[in-house]
Amino acid sequence: MSKTLHIVGTGPGDLTYLPPLARQAIAESDGLVAYPLYIDLIQEQDPDLITGKQRHDLPLGEEIERARLALDLAAEGQTIALISSGDIGIFAMATLVFELLDRECNPRWVDIDVQVIPGISAMQTAASKLGAPLGHDFCAISLSDLLTPWPTIETRVRAAGMGDFVVSFYNPVSRKRDWQLAKARELLLEYRPAETPVILGRNLSRKDEKTEVTTLGALDTTQVDMLTVVVIGNSESRTLTHQQKTWVYTPRGYAKKLEG
């Protein structure tokens, strides 16, 4: 009996971003636990990778149920892959598995081998498509106040402003949360100029990929949805045009050397 739980991030969606380590973990699993879209994306591109495996699809909102099911199935002696897009360690399911292991002390779970396999997170894909905005100190903040009280989020956005961090916003908007990104934009405008470059990336690496470069002043938050990652430059981030395309980068301070 193997009792193995692989906790696997699959990156943005296109399987060319999926490292062999993650592919191998999926390949050797008996069952896959995920929000259905992530398995559908694999199915479309490489059906052989998941043929014969049992799918355990659970909808958005059932994150605790997904983590618990993955542990319970592994406890039965199966090899299970709990899958999310991006890096499953970043604003995703991995932490919830450890929280369950820690809080519930379920004796059936004690001998499960747990392995976390990182993936390319949304901010990294967005950054790479449009330059190198994460070239210097940055932070990542989830704007979802479903689990984190808004005052805590606001404190973090202000801290990011004070520290002049490049900021990636995850979960910027949802059907029920429509004002948080606008408020976060307003807060950051107290600390950095309206000309600060902003990157939007939506459905990155997928058919309907959309990327856009705008500025903090011009950012229209009503155009942003829950599938978008928003990366906001720091006060030194710059844009340039190369090959008819606008790119964004955050310099690390080589300018002095370049001028010297």
Which is closer to its own copies, CB of 155 or CB of 223? 155
Under the binding rule (CB under 8 A), the answer on residue 107 touching its own copies is no
Query: In terms of CB distance, is 194 or 240 closer to its own copies?
Result: 240
CA distance 247 to 260: 25
Residues in 39-68 at the binding interface with its own copies, rule: CB under 8 A: 63-64
User: Which helix (H) or strand (E) covers residue 66, if one does?
Assistant: helix 63-75
Q: According to the binding rule CB under 8 A, does residue 4 interact with its own copies? A: no
CB of 82 to its own copies, least distance (A): 12
Beta-strand ranges (E) seen in the chain are 4-9, 31-34, 54-57, 79-84, 113-117, 131-132, 138-142, 166-170, 197-202, 210-215, 228-232, 238-242, 245-249
The answer for residues whose C-beta is within 8 angstroms of residue 84's C-beta and 6 or more apart is: 8, 9, 10, 34, 35, 38, 92, 93
Tokens 């081998």 sit on residue: 113
- Map residue 44 onto helix, strand or coil: helix
**Subset of residues 144 to 183 that bind its own copies, contact rule: CB under 8 A:** 147-148, 152, 155-156, 158-160, 162-165
By the 8 A CB rule, do 120 and 17 touch? yes
CB of 80 to its own copies, least distance (A): 16
Give me the least distance between CB of 31 and its own copies, in Å please.
21
Q: Candidates 73-81, 107-115, 181-189, 213-221 — which segment interacts with its own copies by CB under 8 A?
A: 107-115
**According to the binding rule CB under 8 A, does residue 96 interact with its own copies?**
yes
Quick check: 194 binds its own copies (CB under 8 A)? no
Stretch that binds its own copies, among 36-44, 108-116, 174-182, 212-220 (CB under 8 A): 108-116
